[in-house]
Structures are given as C-alpha cells and as structure tokens.
Amino acid sequence: MAVNITDRSAVEALIREQIVSTIFQDAPKQSAFMGMARKLPNMTSKQTRIRVLDFLPTAYWVDGDTGMKQTSMQAWDNVYLTAAELAVIVPIPESVFDDAEIDILGEITPRVNEAIGQRVDAAIIFGDNRPREWQADIITLARQAGNNVSPSSGKDYYDLTLGEGGVFSKVEDDGYAVTGAIAPMTFKSKLRGLRDSNKQPIFTHNMQDSSKYALDGVPIQFPENGSFMPDIAQLVVGDFSKAVYAIRQDITVKLLTEGVIQDPNTKDIVYNLAQQDMIALRVVFRMGWALPNPATRLNEDRTGCTFAYLEPGTPAVTQKVTFTVTDGKESSPTAYEDVRINVDGAILKTDSAGKAEFNLRKGTYAAKITKKGFVPVTETFTVDASAVNKAITLVAQA
C-alpha cells in the first residue's frame, strides 16, 4: 500500500528562508599617501603657491686684517599646488532603489570614497592617470635623481633596503631622513624571509608571534586599496613630511533626479533620469599635491629627491630624453653648462657639453629651461616608444 507524506518538496514554497541582513564584504580602504604626507590648509582657489628655498648663501673666510669680504645671495622659487578633480556618477533605476532591502546609497558611498583613495595613491606615487596639471609622480622624481635600486645586484633584501647603496641610503645621501615606507602585500613574504647572522628571522621571533613590520624603526604600510603597482616598484621609501597636499573641495555627494547622462567618448545620451525613472549619485573630490624639494646643504641644487624605490626584477620601461642647450649658432655652437631643466618637478643641470638626460615613462611632460641672465624657455614633449632629443636655444636677456 502506498504511503503518502507531505515532504519538504511539497511545501517548499511555504518555507521562508532566513536572510542575514549583513553584507559580507571587505571594509573600505583609505588612501595610504594622504595618511602619511603633510596636509596643508584647504585651498581657496584652483591653485596655491608655495614659496620654496631655491638658493643658499655662502660664507667666506677673510684673508688678513684688511681682506675684502665677499658677497653672497639667497633666492626662493615658487611651487604650485593645482587642484584636480575626481568625480563619478552612479545611476540607479528608482524601482531597484525602492525594492532593495538595504540602503543602496549607504553601500555605494564608502566604495566610491575608497576608489577616490585608490586613484589618489596611484596617480601621486606611480603616475597612473596623473592629471596633466600635476607635477611628476614620486617614482619619476626619484628616478631622475638616481634614487632607484636594482635587485639584480645580488644583494639580499636587507642590504637592498637598509645597506649601503640601498633605498634608505639613497634618501639619506640627499640629506633627508626616511619617515615611512609603502610596499605591496607580497613584500611581506620577503621580509619574513630575512635572517640575521644566526639564521633567525628578523621580523618574527617564533611562530606564535605576530610580525611587526618596520624598517630601521620606520613604519611600513601595505596598501589594500589596489593602488600599488608592483610592476613599477617593490618598495617606496622617503620623507613623507616633505610631500604636501591640500584639498580644494572635500568629498561631496549629491543625489541627482533630473538630467541626462552622456557617454564620455561618443557624447551620446545613455540615460535620461526623468524619462527613465532613475536617480544618480554624484561624488566629487578636488585636491592638489606637490613635492617642493627645497634646497638644503646636502642638496643645494635641488636635483636630489626625498624618495627612493626598489625596482622589480624587470624594471619598468623608460625612454632616454636628452636636452642639449646651446646658443643656437649654426657653426660651432656654444654649449651652456649648469642650465637648470625642470621637467614636471624633476630637476637636472646640464653638464659641460650642455646636456642633461632624463629617463621617463610614456606620457606628456612639460619642461622649463632656465639660466641666470637668459630668457627662460618652456617646452612640452611626449615620450612614447623611442628616445627623445630636444635641442634648446637660450637667448641672453637684454
């Protein structure tokens, strides 16, 4: 005889599933750079000027009782913070917004803030999508100063970071003290592998201890916002107090209920908020930054840098950009030595042949060529897949 039973499949439509209201997700991450650099007062306009010590005076010994005293001078330069804008619009159908069991706007806003921090770090440290009005990124500035260390030297990571010729010494040679370091998460394994002369781990004393990561007492951060680019650097160290930033417009959130949204490339209308019953969350943030690099007794010509970095096994591709500065005469031109060439904040001086060589990644750069007694020259150039040569002619001031 058949035995009937009202089993689970028969009443499945009546069984209510338990729904956990919490969304399992990672906590939003903040900008690593903005947490370590020096914050200036908020900007009151698009551009803020910083006065920077440019030339140091010199003292001279006087020969004898009636010797002539020599003269010296001190000079200042201007460095500018220019506000660049980060913004995003997140469109949402009103029906989706009304039917959701969670606060959609409350979930989106922290993630947009995280994306802003990621963009800020990537642009300032690595030059990724760097706004044109900003100076060169930290990696580019350090590279022109010769503050890049290659791991191909055969040294272990202790020497590459803290030893002679390591990244710390590069910063110290320019007269600065390292105050912070940034590295990708994968760099932790390299630090855990370091051993002392007794083959004992430097950062972990036993398997039960948590590793406390610091380099020569300097804290090291491992950004989790996806901004670090290990194909460009394994480790970035420097005096972060010398890097400054200012906010022109703090993160503002506005809910749009009318208007249209266009494709940024084609300019075609993608959404009409009123016609399609949609809302949109618009987030805007404006800030500027600079590495003023003032003259010091160990960096009098300002060609040094407060940062250094450890290259990956395969260095990022750069192209040589050579400036040759002369008087422009067709026959036997005179080369000018000690001409200052400023490429987006990276400063070099020409040698006796009137040449200065930069190593730059792909991008568009602005250069200012100056020498006392001559008319300044400005140039804009693009670096792509080959070397760039720039012939500069200086004209004496009237």
Pairing status of strand 148-149 against strand 307-310: parallel
Q: Residue ranges per domain, the chain?
A: 38-56+77-310, 319-393
Joined together, the tokens standing for residue 148 give 């890049």
The three-class DSSP label of residue 333 is coil
Nearest of 338, 330, 348, 349 to residue 393 by alpha carbon: 330
Element (H, E) at 162: helix 157-162
Joined together, the tokens standing for residue 208 give 């039960």
Amino acid identity, position 221 = Q
| CA–CA distances in Å: residue 385 to residues 210, 317, 360, 361 | 46, 9, 11, 9
Domain 38-56+77-310 in this protein, CATH class: alpha beta
Q: What is the DSSP letter of 89?
A: E
Nearest of 231, 203, 393, 204 to residue 313 by alpha carbon: 231
Element (H, E) at 119: helix 104-121
CATH topology of domain 319-393: Immunoglobulin-like (2.60.40)
Kindly give the confidence (pLDDT) of every residue in the chain, 398 residues in length, as a single tens digit, with 9 standing for 90 and above.
Answer: 566 665 566 556 655 554 444 444 544 568 999 999 999 999 999 999 989 888 878 898 998 888 888 988 888 888 899 999 999 999 999 998 888 878 888 888 888 889 999 999 999 999 999 999 999 999 999 999 999 999 977 788 888 999 999 999 999 999 999 999 999 999 988 888 877 777 777 765 454 555 667 888 898 999 999 999 999 999 999 999 999 999 998 888 889 999 999 998 999 999 999 999 999 999 999 999 999 988 888 888 899 999 999 999 999 999 999 999 999 998 889 999 999 999 999 999 999 999 999 999 999 999 999 999 999 999 999 999 999 999 999 999 97
User: HEC profile for 206-236?
Assistant: CCCCCCCCEECCEEEECCCCCCCCCCCCCEE
